[in-house]
């Protein structure tokens, strides 16, 4: 069974123009249906996404909005947060990599 999903990037940055330049330089636009840049709280960014089913992230700023919105979260320890730290926020899934993400969609 093949499934198609719309992927959105929600990022929290204080310098929006620099973030847009970085996204362009990394050529990330082609991977996402939409890119949402928020000042701090990602909840508002995530709440703009229709039919949201899963939030993937590496900080509490991704897990907390997922819990508040009642959607699943896939927390990865590829960023600055440890497994133990992220587990405190009760993500649906907790992993050391994105490798197994496809198994949870």
Q: Would you state the pLDDT for residue 43?
A: 95
Among 53, 6, 50, 14, CA closest to 32? 6
pLDDT digits (tens, 9 = 90+) for 44-66: 999 999 999 999 999 999 999 99
* CA 86/CA 103 separation, integer angstroms: 20
* pTM attached to this predicted model: 0.87
* pLDDT (0 to 100) of residue 79: 86
Residue 1 has pLDDT above 70, yes or no: no
- How far, in Å, are 8, 41, 64, 75 from residue 53 at the CA level? 11, 19, 14, 14
At residue 64, the pLDDT reads: 97
pLDDT digits (tens, 9 = 90+) for 13-42: 989 999 999 999 999 999 999 999 998 789
């Amino acid at each position: 069974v093949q499934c198609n999903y719309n992927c959105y990037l929600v990022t929290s940055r204080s310098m929006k123009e620099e973030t847009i330049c970085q996204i362009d330089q990394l050529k990330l636009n082609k991977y996402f249906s939409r890119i949402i840049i928020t000042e701090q709280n990602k909840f508002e960014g995530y709440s703009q996404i229709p039919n949201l089913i899963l939030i993937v992230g590496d900080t509490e700023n991704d897990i907390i909005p997922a819990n508040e919105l009642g959607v699943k979260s896939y927390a990865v320890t590829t960023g600055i947060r440890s497994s133990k730290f992220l587990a405190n926020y009760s993500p649906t899934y907790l992993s050391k990599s994105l490798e197994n993400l496809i198994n949870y969609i």
